[in-house]
Amino acid sequence: MILNVGEIVKQCRKKMKWSQEELAFNTNLSQSTVSRLEKNKITCDVNTLMQIANKTNAQDILMAMMFNIDMGLVTQVLQLVPTFIGGMFTWIL
C-alpha cells in the first residue's frame, strides 16, 4: 500500500476550509512547502504530518487514509471513545 501523503495534507487543509497560505501560517511552513507536499513533490516526515493533523483537528482523516478505511467509520469510532472511557471509569468506581 502506498500512502498518498499529499492527499492527506490536502484533506486536512480542506477540513478547516483553509487556503495553502493559512495552513502554512498555522504550521510554520511556507506556502510553497505546503503546495509541494500536496503535490507529493517533497516527502513529509511523521512529525510534520502529525503537526498538520493536530493543527487542523483532522486526526480522523489521517487515521482513515493511513489504514485505508472508511472515513464515516473512523468518525463513529472516535465519537464513541469518550463514552467508552467514561463508562470504564463509572464501572471501576
Model confidence pTM above 0.75: no
Residue 2 identity (one-letter amino acid): I
46-55 and 5-15 helices, crossing angle to 10°: 20
Cα–Cα distance between 60 and 66 in angstroms, integer?
Answer: 10
Instruction: Take residue 32 and report the three cell numbers written for it.
Output: 510553497
Contact 6, 12 (CB under 8 A): no
pLDDT (0 to 100) of residue 55: 93
Q: What angle, 0 to 180 degrees and rounded to 10, lies between the N-to-C axes of helices 20-27 and 5-15?
A: 90
- List domains and CATH numbers for the chain: 5-92 (1.10.260.40)
pLDDT tens for each residue of 62-93: 777 767 766 666 666 667 767 766 665 555 55
Per residue in 18-68, pLDDT tens?
A: 999 999 999 999 999 999 999 999 998 889 988 998 999 887 777 777 677
Per-residue CA distances from 29 to 2, 35, 49 (Å)? 24, 10, 12
pLDDT value for 90: 58
